Structure 1
Amino acid sequence: MSLPQPVPPSWKDLGKSSNDLLGRDFPISGVQLEVKTNTPSNVAFKVNGTRDSKSALINGDLEGKYVDRKHGLVFTQAWTTSNILRTQVELENQIAKGLKFDLNTALTPDSGSKSALFTTTYKQPGLHSRAFLDLFKGPTFTADTVVGRDGFLLGAEASYNVTEGKVTRYATALGYSAPEYAVTLHGLGNLSTFAASYYHRVSPDVEAGAKAVYDTKATTSGVSLEVGTKAYLDSSAFVKAKINNSGILALGYTQALRPGVRASFGLALDTQRLNDASPSGAAHKVGASFTFEG
């Protein structure tokens, strides 16, 4: 008799452990500040600001989120410094258990451009399926499904342009997930790009991972490879390091200063140009991120 199957991850979360290990907590592009607060009336506010070290531009957004857990309703409104108004309405587990509806819209008053994406998600043990309808682009219908059994995962995605009457994009993935490790293989971009990722929790304090990408349409031949690791120094701090086959070494350090206050620092070095004294020519980067949550 087989064990009860858990709900598998969604298509976008296949390989998430490896992607998070190699992509998060490396603030190397500038300085970021994020402030999160919650009110007793189930309203959460988030203010996010980023200063890009290359362009010196400061971008930010203000977001408010209302959560009605009793009725499975989440309403989010955001306004960015680019004068983009974003609205998201989510409704979950009301019509059927595991069924979620999501409407995400964006409006730019200056240019009048707008977008609207309607999403339906259905989750059950062993199944995670989503369907998207882009109302203003195409319109385009996109669907993805992931099925899982005993740790094995199989997923596929396809996009269909309603106006042109043809499939515009398709992809597939195969993976295996266990409590201590996960392996995922992707065939993306109409099976023109292939990616393999690996994640391993070596011990409670050490994680390791790698990702390899081969693009059949790239002008340069070969496989792009990136490996990284994460080590907890104690319950409030950890360090991360990663390097790719181009010789770019990235280091990250995150420290919880106190409950709700976290600081991260990042450094990227081009190991092939360590002796380059020209700041404009060097590929070295440094940055920091500060998060306040109350």
Structure 2
Amino acid sequence: MSPPVYSDLGKQARDVFGKGYHFGVLKLECKTKSDAGVEVTAGGTNSIATGNVTGNLETKYKIKEHGLTFTEKWNTDNTLATELSLEDNFTKGLKFVLNSTFVPSSGKKSAVVKTTYKKDAVSVNLDSTIDLGGPLLNGAAVAYYKNWLLGYQMAFDTAKSKLTKNNFAVGFTSQDFTLHTYANDGAEFGGSLYHKISRDLEGAVDLGWSANSNTTRFSIGCKYALDRDACVRAKVNNKSEVGLGYQQRLREGVTLTLSTLIDGKNFNQGGHKIGLALELEA
């Protein structure tokens, strides 16, 4: 099994802190699939504080025998995005992706070409913006050896002939335990720990320190499955912010998520956030 790409290092811990929380918004998401194999996702969010509403529509079509996937996205900011990906076509483990965006109101356009190659002990990816003035190159590699992971990520601005990103990561992974540490540009240091404590309980710890601002962050979170249809989540950080979430599958294809963020330092003054999400799939 090949190692994850650089951006997915520590993903299990990030999911414990990020998934299942929708603070300050009301969210609706609907998914369906046509007989022709076209996957359609539509949804929107409403900000409780401002009342602003945003919406999005995504269609995805896969031609599995050729490893081809075509995706179109539109949102209420009037941004059109397309993605064309080709996987395992020329050789096993190689994936090409072309991303493009277009804003009709301003005429602004952008495009990125992405390549990823995975083998048993290494994952390599290289991205490049399509810019005649000088593309921005992003590259990363992750090597795997006896449960240890070593990663490097860089970004190079060809227009300025300047290295703009220089990141390192070291990790350890096993069946129920993952450790991830990183150093970004010699100024941001941190790490995360994920542990599958039991069949129903997952826990994670995240910490970091910034040399520029001399600030430290610390968070601990968990997810507990009450049964096959319900789970609860909780997390707390060094700012005394407490996040709580409850997710319930009401029936096949209908999932309700409730969440709240409590400011422990100003408990009696209010300002806490709540959120609700309803996901429909057919």
TM range (shorter): over 0.9
Residue 285 (1) aligns with residue 273 (2): yes
5+ long unaligned stretches in structure 2: none
Q: Distance in 1 between matches of 2:114 and 2:215?
A: 37
1:138 Cα deviation from its structure 2 partner: 4.3
Distance 1:9 1:150 in 2: 14
Q: Which residue number in structure 2 is paired with residue 41 of structure 1?
A: 36
Q: Percent identity?
A: 32
How many angstroms does 1:165 deviate by? Answer: 1.5
The aligned residue for residue 56 of structure 1 is 51
Alpha-carbon distance between aligned partners in 2 of 1:146 and 1:228, rounded to the nearest angstrom? 27
Tell me the amino acid that sits aligned with residue 173 of structure 2: S
Residue in 2 aligned with 1:279? none
Deviation sequence 1:14-39 (CA, Å, 0-9, x none): 00010000111011121111000011
Residue range with higher mean Cα deviation, 81-90 or 127-136: 127-136
- Partners of 2:164 and 2:35 lie apart in 1 by 46
> CA separation in 2, counterparts of 1:86 and 1:48?
16
1:175 aligns with 2:168: no
Deviating runs (4+, > 2 A) in structure 1? none
Structure 1 gaps of 5+ residues are 1-5, 277-281
The alignment's TM-score, normalised by the length of structure 2, stands at: 0.97
Deviations along 1:184-205, whole A, 9 cap, x unmatched? 00112x1210111001111001
CA distance in structure 1 between the aligned counterparts of 2:261 and 2:162, rounded to whole angstroms: 43
List per-residue Cα deviations over 1:232-254 (Å, max 9, x = no partner): 11111000000000000000000
Out of 210, 216, 224, the residue aligned to residue 217 of structure 2 is: 224
Return the offset for 1:283. 3.3
Give the Cα–Cα distance (whole angstroms) in 2 for the partners of residues 68 and 222 of structure 1.
48
Written as runs of structure 1 = structure 2, the 5 A alignment for 1:72-221 is: 72-136=67-131, 138-188=134-184, 190-218=185-213, 221=214
Classify the secondary structure of the residue corresponding to 2:194. strand
Pairwise CA RMSD: 1.1
Offset at residue 118 of structure 1 (A): 0.5
What is the CA distance between 1:265 and its match in structure 2? 0.5
Deviations 1:206-227 (A, max 9, x none): 1111100101112xx3420000
| 1:167, distance to aligned residue in structure 2 (A) | 1.1
Q: Deviation string for 1:62-115 (max 9, x for gaps)?
A: 111110000000000111111100000000111111111000101001011111
Secondary structure of 1:19's match?
helix
- Structure 1 counterpart SS, 2:15: helix
1 CA distance for matches of 2:277 and 2:186? 36
What one-letter code is carried by the residue in structure 2 that aligns with 1:290?
L
- Residue number in structure 2 paired with 1:12: 7
Matched residue of 1:111: which SS?
coil
